[in-house]
Amino acid sequence: MCKELCPAGRFTGGRSQVTIGLHHRRTGADPGAVLATPRCPMPYLTVRDYRMYYEDHGTGDPLVLLHSGLATSAQWVPFIPVYARRYRVLATDRRAYGRSDPRPGFAAGYLQEDASDLATFLDLLGITGARVLGHSDGGTVALLLAAARPDLVRSMVLVAAHTHAE
């Protein structure tokens, strides 16, 4: 997980410290930033019937980052160093995206399925009251999660979310 995010990552004493690499400098992130990742190097969690890829950085209150329908957790790479200074940042690849396992197809209700997957993911990690930042489909997943499981969501920031699941 850490070495894929930043090639300069190293594992020491049960905690991974990831030094921001060149790709972060191109995006304007602080090149001297260091992320602490307590669960590195195990980036997968079995959620219901598939393996979900996730990044876990920093400490503090949980902040969950949900990518758009045309992206992966990598869309958050420039932001993770900033957010990880204050929060425990969890960035997931939803089912069939990025490094998570595929799904047979995108049938009606796939965003509700993603919200259910996210609820299970948070339950498995023992997280309640998370801050959730979702972009596009990720914002819709956040809305569906908050409606179904308000105990899991403390607050939300939604960017270009839609209110009608496709």
The tens digit of pLDDT for each residue in 125-140 reads: 999 999 999 999 999 9
Residue 155 belongs to a domain: yes
Q: In which domain, by residue range, is 134 found? A: 41-159
The CATH number for 88's domain is 3.40.50.1820
Distance CA 10, CA 69 (A): 31
Condensed to tens digits (0 to 9), the pLDDT of residues 43-93 reads 899 998 899 999 999 999 999 999 999 999 999 999 999 999 999 999 999
Residue 57 belongs to a domain: yes
Tally the domains of the chain. Answer: 1
Residue 25 belongs to a domain: no
Distance CA 96, CA 119 (A): 17
Q: Do the Cβ atoms of 83 and 63 come closer than 8 Å? A: yes
